[in-house]
Amino acid sequence: MNIMTPQPVYRMMTSLILRARTVAVAVTMATALAAGSTLAHAQLETVEPVGEVSLVLGNAYIEHTDGRRSVAVPGSIIVASDRIHTAANGHVHIRFVDQALVSVRPDSRLEIVRYDYNPDQPASSSIKLNLEEGVTRSISGHGATAARERFRLNTPIAAIGVRGTDFVVNASSGAVRAQVNEGTIVMAPFSADCTADAFGPCLANAVELTGTSMQMLELDGSTTAPQIMPATVEREPGMMREEVNQAIAASEARADDKTAGTEEYLENVTAQRVKQEAANVARPTTPPTTPPVVPPTVAETNFTPELAIATEQLQQNNLIWGRFGSAKGDLERITAPFEIAQEGRDWMVGLGDYRLFRDSNGRDRVDAGLGPVSFELSSAQAFYDSGTGIVAMAVTGGKFDINFNTRQFSTELNMKHNLTGNVDFITSGLISETGIFHNRTGPEPATMAGAVSLDGKEASYFFEQQLQTGGIHGLTLWNKR
């Protein structure tokens, strides 16, 4: 992957500075006329910007160092010491001057503590973010890539350093979890040897996690060091990944003109997304009504059992889905109570009310020499959630192929319901040596993750996908052909 040259970044930063200073002058003049603003306040407004909001969904605002709050909108300038707050329906993307991308998800607070970046000397960068609460995703830019020992993401109880990374962090006052999509992170709890005011990764009680492990780090008050846990999926619309890929494609396509076009391309990508979301928000809506209970569409083939599979029969499989509580109640077909499913098995992946367990028999690596393997669908359960009600869908077919030599997989699942028509879930991704897999491509937004038995004879995954109205989700069980 070719990294864009810093010229477009510098050009963007210069543009942002001019805009910020223009705004600063206007704000200072208006404030002075209305209330006699002080010179100190005017100087505060001319702090150089470090980034710009590229996308806003729902409600969010920016809290400035002087206590002022402004509504976050596309184009809002971000400076060091700003805090981004998102409401329950809020989602904000920020593109920094070094081309780093940060996503602030609903019900979150992120502080930009420091962002010193010089395109002429990127190795001297100093970057520190502070996730006070909620979920954020960070894709490293030129600054963190060139100055890895000077990047830090703080949480209430732990520090995170990077090794050129794309990662997601979920933090609260007493716990923090992190997953890595690409690269490596280092997490360590705060201590006398790891203080919040320092930069870079800590060494004391630190644990490293790579994207290829397909696991997560978790730290809470019950442990002295982060623990490696099975992965859970963090929902993400995938817009940030698209911005990065589009920007790289633009820079490669226009290699003879590095100083122009890349920034405009990024703006166009973001603008199109914002226009689409605005159109959806602006579209008149009618009060929600509870959809009628409609039975699944009758199909020639339906891999959803008419009745729930007996727990005793599910226990004979190497892979078994456990559910918390009643989950979907009478609609459950291929799950067992959590307490039964976990007996003598290892937790592999999970989402919401469900956890997938495997009988690994003390091992943690798939058998060698499996090569390409095709699976046939054994059974599945799928649901359509309209936002006002949940109905079962008919699962009419599917295919699943894994190449253990290249550690890649692809799958397709075909579903149908009167309320949705035909729906195809199609995606592909990578599988680890532990047999855990998740998708990296597919319709946006769509997520899936699962595991195979260590002998390669069974496979299972959960999936979810947003539709134009509502969304679908479900579980699958597969056997080797």
Residue 214 zone, left/alpha/beta (φ > 0; ψ -120 to 50; rest): left
Range with the poorest average pLDDT among 37-41, 162-166, 353-357: 37-41
The percentage of residues in the chain with a pLDDT greater than 70, rounded to a whole number, is 74
Q: 116 or 238: whose pLDDT is higher?
A: 116
Average pLDDT, the chain: 80
Give the CA diameter of the chain. 79
171-187 pLDDT, tens digit per residue, is 999 999 998 888 899 99
118-141 pLDDT, tens digit per residue, is 899 999 999 999 999 999 999 999
Strand locations in 147-285 (E): 151-154, 158-162, 166-171, 175-182, 184-189, 207-210, 215-220, 227-232
The second-level CATH assignment, the architecture, of 49-274 is: Sandwich (2.60)
Is the pLDDT score of 30 beyond 90? no
CATH 2.60.120.1440 domain extents, the chain: 49-274
pLDDT at 222: 81
Residue 456: pLDDT band (50, 70, 90) is very high
Residue 49 zone, left/alpha/beta (φ > 0; ψ -120 to 50; rest): beta
Is the pLDDT score of 45 beyond 80? no
Residue 214: pLDDT band (50, 70, 90) is confident
260-315 pLDDT, tens digit per residue, is 333 333 333 333 443 344 344 344 444 545 555 555 544 457 999 999 999 999 99
Residue 28: pLDDT band (50, 70, 90) is very low
- Give the pLDDT mean for 205-229: 86
CA distances 425 to 20, 382, 447, Å, are 45, 11, 10
* The most confident of 43-47, 91-95, 290-294, by mean pLDDT: 91-95
C-alpha closest to that of 183 among 247, 140, 241:
140
- Give the pLDDT mean for 73-93: 95
347-406 pLDDT, tens digit per residue, is 998 877 899 999 999 898 999 999 999 999 999 999 999 877 899 999 999 999 999 999
pLDDT at 455: 96
Domain 311-480 listed as CATH 2.60.120.260: no
pLDDT at 407: 93
CA neighbours within 13 Å on the CB side: how many for 133? 10
186-200 pLDDT, tens digit per residue, is 999 999 999 999 999
Is 438 within 8 Å of 428 (Cβ atoms)?
Answer: no
Residue 445: pLDDT band (50, 70, 90) is low
Is the pLDDT score of 336 beyond 90? yes
Residue 13: pLDDT band (50, 70, 90) is very low
- Sign, CA torsion 297/303/309/311: negative
C-alpha closest to that of 200 among 165, 124, 149, 127:
149
pLDDT at 232: 61
Residue 103: pLDDT band (50, 70, 90) is very high
CA distances 378 to 170, 302, 334, 399, 453, Å, are 35, 10, 10, 11, 15
pLDDT at 292: 56
Is the pLDDT score of 318 beyond 50? yes
- Give the pLDDT mean for 310-335: 94
C-alpha closest to that of 106 among 60, 156, 54, 75:
60
- Give the pLDDT mean for 23-40: 40
- Give the pLDDT mean for 212-228: 85
CATH 2.40.160.90 domain extents, the chain: 311-480
pLDDT at 249: 44
Is the pLDDT score of 479 beyond 50? yes
Is the pLDDT score of 22 beyond 90? no
Is the pLDDT score of 12 beyond 70? no
pLDDT at 17: 36
